[in-house]
C-alpha cells in the first residue's frame, strides 16, 4: 500500500493536524504509518471494538459501511461478539466511519477527549480506555499512547498473572503440606494393616499346609478306592459281557425255534388253504363244464336215459347237431368272438400281459394313460363275461410304487424287483389247478409257448384289442 498519498488513514490523520506546523504534520503522518505497521494490542483492540459497538446505534443506515449494515439491529454486546472483525476492519480502512465513531465518543466522554487533545495525563482512567480513545480520536502522539497502553496492559496482565501464580503456588504448597500430612497418616495406617495382614497370612499359611497334608492323604485314599472300584467294574463288565453273549445266543436260538415253528404252521396252513382252494376251484370247473357239456350235447335228464324203440329209428331229429353245424361254428384265430367263447367257459381266468398289449395298441401314450385305458376296457369286459381277469405289468424298473386304484372286477399285479412280467405270468398259470381254463393274452412268442406247455390257452394281443374296440 502507498504510505504517502494513497492511504485513507494517513489522509485522515493529516486532516487532524492541518492547522499545526509542517513539522507537527510530518510527525503525525509518521505516527500513522508506524501505527499501521504495528497491530493493535489485543486489549486495546477489544476496547476499540466495544466503543465502536456502543456508538454503532447512533449512526443512520446510510452512515454505516456496507459490510456493517447487516448488524444494525444487533445489540451492542452481540455486535461486539459477531461483528468484531468487521468493525475493526471498517475502523482501520474507513476514516469517515472512524470519525463518526470518534464524534460519538467525544459526546459520550468529553473530559477524556479534551485531556487527549490537550496532552494532559489521565491517571484515573484505565490505560486501555485511554489507548482506545486515542486510536479513535487520533490526537498528536496517539500511536505512542496506544503502544504505551499495550505495554502497560501487558505489564498489568503479567502482574496479575504473577499474583495469580503466587496465589496458586501458595495454595499448592498448602495442599502439598496437607497431602504430606495425610500421606504420613495413611502410611502409618497402612503399616499397621500390613503387620496385621502378615500375621493373618502366616496363620493362613499354617492352615494351608495342614489342609494340603489332609488333601494329600485324601487323594491317596481316593486313588486306592478308585483302583478297587476299577477292578470291581472290570469284573462286572466281564460278567456282563459273558451274560450278554449267552443271552444273545439264547435269544438267537429262541428266535430260530420260533421262526421254525411259525414257518411250519404257515406251511401247513398255506398248503392246506391253497390245496382246498385249488380242489374247490377244480370241482366247480368240472361241474360247470359238465353242465355246459350237457347243454351243448342236449343230453336228456338222468331219469330218461333208457332207450325206447322209437329211438332206434335212423332219422334227423330237430335241433340235432350235424358235422356241418360244427364246421360253421369254428372261428378264426383273429376273430374277437373267439375270445368271447373262451371267456364263456366255466371258471375261465383271463391273464393279460399289460404293457405288451398297450405298446401294441397305443404306444404313443404315456405309461400311466396306457394303463388307465387298458384297465378301463378290461373292467367292461369282466363285467360282460363274468370271468376272472388279472392284468400284469412289469414293475421291476419302476423307481417308486405306482399309485393306482384297480377297477372293479380286475386284479392288477406288478412284478417284483428282479422279476419280469413274463415270469409273473408263468407263476400265475402254474398256480391254477389243472383243468381250469386259463387264457393268456400276449404277443410274446416265448410267453405263449411257456403258458401253452403249462396248460393255458395263449391268444395274441391284437385279438384283445379288437375285442376291446367293440366295448
Backbone angles phi, psi at 362, to 5 degrees: -145, 70
Strands, sheet with 457-459, edge to edge from the N-terminal-most edge strand: 410-414, 388-393, 349-353, 438-441, 457-459
CA angle 400/405/409 to nearest 5° reads 130
The Cα 146–Cα 140 span in angstroms is: 12
Burial 298-322, CB ≥16 within 10 A → b, else e: eeeeeeeeeeeeeeeeeeeeeeeee
| 351 to 2, 15, 382, 389: CA distances (angstroms) | 130, 140, 12, 6
Mean local confidence (pLDDT), 426-442? 91
Domains and CATH numbers, the chain: 8-161 (no CATH), 336-469 (3.40.50)
3-state percent breakdown (helix, strand, coil) of the chain, nearest 5: 70, 5, 25
The Cα 19–Cα 22 span in angstroms is: 9
What residues does 391 pair with on adjacent strands? 352, 412
Mean local confidence (pLDDT), 230-259? 87
pLDDT category at 466 given cuts 50, 70, 90 is very high
122-139: pLDDT as tens digits: 666 777 777 777 777 777
Mean local confidence (pLDDT), 168-190? 89
Return the percentage of the chain with pLDDT > 90, whole number: 25
Whether the per-residue pLDDT at 5 is higher than 50: the answer is: no
Whether the per-residue pLDDT at 164 is higher than 50: the answer is: yes
pLDDT category at 330 given cuts 50, 70, 90 is low
What residues does 83 pair with on adjacent strands? none
Length of the chain: 471
Whether the per-residue pLDDT at 327 is higher than 80: the answer is: no
Burial 248-263, CB ≥16 within 10 A → b, else e: eeeeeeeeeeeeeeee
240-253: pLDDT as tens digits: 888 898 888 888 78
What residues does 227 pair with on adjacent strands? none
The Cα 5–Cα 50 span in angstroms is: 30
What residues does 457 pair with on adjacent strands? 439
Q: Are 432 and 438 in contact (CB under 8 A)?
A: yes
Q: Which conformational region is residue 313 in: left (phi greater than 0), alpha (psi within -120 to 50 degrees), or beta?
A: beta
Higher pLDDT, 193 or 37: 193
pLDDT category at 44 given cuts 50, 70, 90 is confident
374-407: pLDDT as tens digits: 999 999 999 999 999 999 998 866 665 676 788 8
The pLDDT score that the predictor gives to residue 457 is 92
DSSP string, 377-401: HHHHHHHHH--EEEEEE--TT-SS-
Handedness of CA 301, 305, 306, 309 (dihedral sign): positive
Higher pLDDT, 413 or 157: 413
pLDDT category at 266 given cuts 50, 70, 90 is confident
The grid coordinates listed for 138 are 487520533
From 92-96, 455-459, 462-466, the region with the lowest mean pLDDT: 92-96
Global pTM exceeds 0.75: no
Q: Are 436 and 347 in contact (CB under 8 A)?
A: yes
The Cα 446–Cα 348 span in angstroms is: 22
Amino acid at each position: 500500500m502507498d504510505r504517502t498519498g494513497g492511504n485513507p488513514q494517513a489522509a485522515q490523520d493529516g486532516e487532524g493536524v492541518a492547522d499545526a506546523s509542517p513539522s507537527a504534520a510530518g510527525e503525525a503522518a509518521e505516527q500513522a504509518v508506524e501505527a499501521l505497521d504495528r497491530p493493535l494490542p489485543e486489549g486495546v483492540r477489544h476496547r476499540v471494538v466495544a466503543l465502536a459497538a456502543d456508538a454503532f446505534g447512533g449512526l443512520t443506515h446510510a452512515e454505516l459501511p456496507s459490510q456493517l449494515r447487516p448488524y444494525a439491529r444487533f445489540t451492542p454486546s452481540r455486535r461486539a461478539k459477531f461483528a468484531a472483525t468487521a468493525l475493526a476492519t471498517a475502523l482501520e480502512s474507513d476514516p469517515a466511519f472512524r470519525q463518526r465513531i470518534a464524534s460519538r465518543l467525544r459526546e459520550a466522554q468529553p473530559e477524556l477527549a479534551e485531556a487527549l487533545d490537550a496532552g494532559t495525563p489521565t491517571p484515573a482512567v484505565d490505560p486501555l480506555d485511554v489507548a482506545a480513545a486515542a486510536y479513535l480520536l487520533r490526537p498528536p502522539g496517539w500511536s505512542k499512547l496506544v503502544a504505551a497502553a499495550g505495554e502497560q496492559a501487558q505489564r498489568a496482565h503479567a502482574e496479575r498473572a504473577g499474583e495469580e501464580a503466587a496465589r496458586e503456588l501458595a495454595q499448592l504448597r498448602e495442599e502439598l503440606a496437607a497431602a504430606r500430612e495425610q500421606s504420613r497418616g495413611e502410611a502409618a495406617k497402612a503399616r499397621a494393616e500390613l503387620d496385621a495382614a502378615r500375621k493373618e497370612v502366616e496363620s493362613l499359611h499354617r492352615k494351608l499346609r495342614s489342609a494340603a497334608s489332609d488333601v494329600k492323604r485324601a487323594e491317596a485314599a481316593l486313588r486306592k478306592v478308585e483302583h478297587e472300584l476299577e477292578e470291581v467294574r472290570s469284573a462286572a463288565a466281564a460278567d456282563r459281557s459273558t451274560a450278554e453273549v449267552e443271552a444273545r445266543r439264547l435269544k438267537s436260538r429262541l428266535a430260530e425255534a420260533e421262526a421254525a415253528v411259525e414257518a411250519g404252521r404257515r406251511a401247513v396252513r398255506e398248503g392246506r388253504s391253497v390245496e382246498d382252494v385249488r380242489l374247490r376251484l377244480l370241482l366247480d370247473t368240472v361241474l360247470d363244464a359238465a353242465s355246459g357239456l350237457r347243454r351243448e350235447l342236449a343230453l336228456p335228464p338222468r331219469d330218461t336215459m333208457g332207450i325206447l324203440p322209437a329211438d332206434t329209428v335212423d332219422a334227423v331229429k330237430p335241433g340235432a347237431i350235424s358235422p356241418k353245424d360244427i364246421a360253421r361254428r369254428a372261428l378264426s384265430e383273429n376273430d374277437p368272438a373267439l375270445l368271447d367263447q373262451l371267456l364263456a367257459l366255466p371258471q375261465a381266468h383271463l391273464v393279460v400281459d399289460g404293457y405288451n398289449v398297450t405298446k401294441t395298441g397305443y404306444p404313443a401314450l404315456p405309461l400311466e394313460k396306457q394303463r388307465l385305458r387298458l384297465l378301463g376296457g378290461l373292467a367292461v369286459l369282466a363285467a360282460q363275461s363274468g370271468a376272472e381277469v388279472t392284468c400284469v405289468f412289469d414293475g421291476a424298473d419302476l423307481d417308486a410304487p405306482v399309485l393306482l386304484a384297480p377297477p372293479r372286477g380286475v386284479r392288477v399285479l406288478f412284478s417284483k424287483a428282479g422279476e419280469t412280467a413274463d415270469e409273473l405270468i408263468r407263476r400265475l398259470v402254474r398256480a391254477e389247478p389243472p383243468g381250469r381254463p386259463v387264457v393268456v393274452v400276449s404277443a410274446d412268442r416265448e410267453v405263449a409257448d411257456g403258458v401253452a406247455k403249462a396248460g393255458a390257452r395263449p391268444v395274441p394281443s391284437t385279438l384283445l384289442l379288437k375285442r376291446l374296440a367293440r366295448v
